[in-house]
Chains A and B, each alone.
Chain A
Amino acid sequence: MSMNVLGIIFSYADRENLRELTKIRTLSSVPFGGKYRIIDFILSNFVNSGIQEVSIITRNNYHSLIDHLGAGKEWDLTRKIGGLRILSPFSNPGGTDNGTYLGTIDALSKNMHSIKRSLAEYVIITGSSFICSIDYDEIIRSHIERHADITAVYARPRQDFELPDAIPLLRMDDQERVNELCYFNDDCDPDTTTFSLGMFVLRKSLLESLVADSVAYGRYDFYRDIIQRLSHQLNIRGYEYRKNYFEISSVSGYMKENMRLLSENVRRQTFEMPVYTKIKDSVPAQYGAGSKVSNSIISDGCRIEGTVINSILSRGVVVGKGAVVKNSIIMQNTEIMRNVSLNYVILDKDVIVRESRQLVGHETYPVVIEKKSII
């Protein structure tokens, strides 16, 4: 069945404020969970569900994404049939636009030449704001069983989860039929908390005609102009995702969601199925004689001489003697020299923190240091 599915990923999100983290990269290439990027989890879901054809729609700053994905070998998506396609911005021939998209429907429309070429019967569309561990096979099955036109995957807020502003909420009847869409903090029914995970399943032929129709009327927003506007004409069904999810749209949320991986239960759910990522052939992590590490995730290639507590280290991070790293996220190849002290800090890639520097943020407002900075 899955041979019949095309995955479409939006690598960017409008509803996102990750400050320095997305200044130089698109949302889906933001590092997460040590050695991964957000895109790794999304692609792995497709691959683990047997889907071998995936297109990624990009808008801007997607250089790092292309760098990371290459030809898709590590995700087993270097295929003769299907495989990985990165769809870079495309302006319509003769058009006056310069490749920017007016909305999600516009983005789909401008990439329709590629989507149409696929022989898949179904498409699964997903954004990059949520990291889930989802079995698409099951969703397609439910989509077919319920004769749905569109299946919208949704979740309920977990205990410690605050709904982010403007997240799309789906109101459904007891058959999970979606009859209204609204945005959190807007004029919404306060009892509705079932929020969209940004994932939709529909027939590719339906997507093609819906996109063509909408564009003809100058309608460009998938949520408002398809889900909302057509909720009474189409059989749009909700599908509840009940396992763990991570939501990434703000810096404090990014920090908090990363830290949840320090819980064994969350780790187990996240890595139950393999999560593929780029292989760097780094050496195993080396711990020196004076190292002290507690409750932390450490990736290959790290060299640790100092103290690391409640933190997440990506590949190739160096922590010098006497340095103390607490409650922090350290990205690839960053070097923390002797006697540095960090608390609630996010250091992007290739940062150098010189000897004895101290950086202190707060849980609600972590200090973010841009890629390649020298402190």
Chain B
Amino acid sequence: MSNAKKKEMIAMLLAGGQGSRLGILTNHVAKPAVPFGGKYRIIDFPISNCVNSGIDTIGVLTQYRPLELNAYIGNGQPWDLDRLFGGITILPPYMKAEAGEWYKGTANAIYQNIEYIEMSRPTYVLILSGDHIYKMNYKMMLDYHVQKGADCTIAVINVPYEEASRFGVMNTDENLKIHEFEEKPANPKSTLASMGVYIFNWEKLKAYLKADEADKNSENDFGKNIIPKMLEAQEKMYAYEYKGYWKDVGTVESLWEANMDLLNPDVPIELNDPPWKIYSRNGILPPQYIGENAKLKNSSISEGCNIDGEIENSIIFPGVNVQRGASVKNSILMPGVTIGADTVVEYTIIAADTVIGSNVRLGAGKETLQDGKHPEISVIGQNIIIADDTVIPAGAMVGESISKKERE
């Protein structure tokens, strides 16, 4: 590939995880392909961030259930990544002459794609994951990395002290130089949590990846192996503090919360931001139609919807049908869902193409629990049918169709 252009920095996006804590939502798709925010998928955020930061070469490492993700990314055209040089490339594990193997860990996934990275001869490599919602300018982070003369820069976010023990925590000096990294410490010494966004000098990283691969005891993981090894060797590692909105959407609860954040004007994530658009693959659908019986309140509704019921504090994805008399509150309806007449949906996530009959009750009622907490979120799986008059309690996870007969 001698004709490929040299790139200053390319991105490697780790998108192979199952995201098992999302339960039935990831039965058919990898976590990065889970729908988010009314018309997006989680992976649209890191990809759009790259494109908006001027990064035009992205390798997407896939492993778990890649078909839908592959089809979604396609040639990268929706993100302007159908490029003459670079663009977006799906990188599944593959056979090599001596052997072939699955990606054993995050570091091993990058190790197995050293050849891909070398095609662009980058000076820096940006490592990203596909499970966070945030808008971040990686170019500013790179400028910081260069200015600090760092070997590795890790993006961090200041979290409340009581939450710090859920994250990988960076202990730094006053210049943000990292001297210690602790994975989920019981007694955190700092509140700077790693966002899973790293910039490495490529030659340096390559050397550590090769050494890590040779180490039989290594778990081949960035957080557990590469970062500690580099710290041990006294490499110049800096934390880059990010101050905007950032949310891990690895659980049903946090996925629901992050969606609801979009409806809350007090939460600093605004997607209607023309210079920093989040791009996505759009379906070919007509505009939405709002019927005569609709009542809409503090909600986000997408193309192709047909709404004749009541929608409040909810995120409605493209092509959803809500029939007359139905009421949807504090819920997320993914693409192509149908809600029958007089059905009540509360605190529920319904996955794509599922049909809910009429007069069904989903999720817990309006009454908020004590201490201001909301009821448990129910999840209804993809492409199933829930028969008329079914009642599904709060916190339930339904992965199979429910017919009238079974219920009785």
Contacts and interface: CB of A to CB of B under 8 A. Distances in A.
Nearest to A309: B292
Contacts of A301: 272
Q: Which of B37, B280, B282, B316 has the most CB of A within 10 A?
A: B282
B284 A274 contact: yes
Interface in B200-246: none
A24 B113 CA distance: 53
B320 to A, nearest CB: 11
Interface string A263-304: 010010011001110010111111111011111111111011
A183 B47 CA distance: 57
Interface string B276-305: 011110101011111110111111111100
Contact of B288 (A285, A288, A292): A285
Interface string B35-74: 0011100000000000000000000000000000000000
B4 interface: no
A298 B287 contact: yes
B271 interface: yes
B289 A293 contact: no
A282 B279 CA distance: 9
Nearest to A264: B289
B403 interface: no
B77 interface: yes
Contact of A33 (B287, B297, B315): B287
Contacts of A295: 290-292
A281 B311 CA distance: 23
Contacts of B271: 283
Q: What size tier do the contact residues of chain B reach?
A: 20 to 34
B39 A289 contact: no
B346 to A, nearest CB: 18
Given A281-B280, A295-B291, A287 B286 contact: no
B1 to A, nearest CB: 24
B302 A284 contact: yes
Contact of B279 (A262, A281, A304): A281
A147 B395 CA distance: 67
Contacts of B288: 285, 297-299
Q: Which of B37, B286, B299, B311 has the most CB of A within 10 A?
A: B286
Contact of A271 (B286, B296, B297): B286
A35 B294 contact: no
A68 B78 CA distance: 17
A73 interface: yes
Contacts of B37: 284
Interface string B321-351: 0000000000000000000000000000000
Interface of B: 37-39, 77-78, 271-272, 277-280, 282, 284, 286-292, 294-303, 311, 315-316
30 contacts: A33-B286, A34-B286, A35-B287, A73-B77, A262-B289, A267-B289, A270-B286, A274-B284, A279-B78, A279-B282, A281-B278, A283-B271, A284-B38, A284-B39, A284-B303, A287-B298, A288-B298, A292-B295, A293-B290, A297-B287, A298-B287, A298-B289, A298-B290, A299-B287, A299-B288, A299-B303, A300-B287, A301-B272, A308-B290, A313-B287
The 3 closest A-B pairs by CB, nearest first: A284-B38, A34-B287, A274-B284
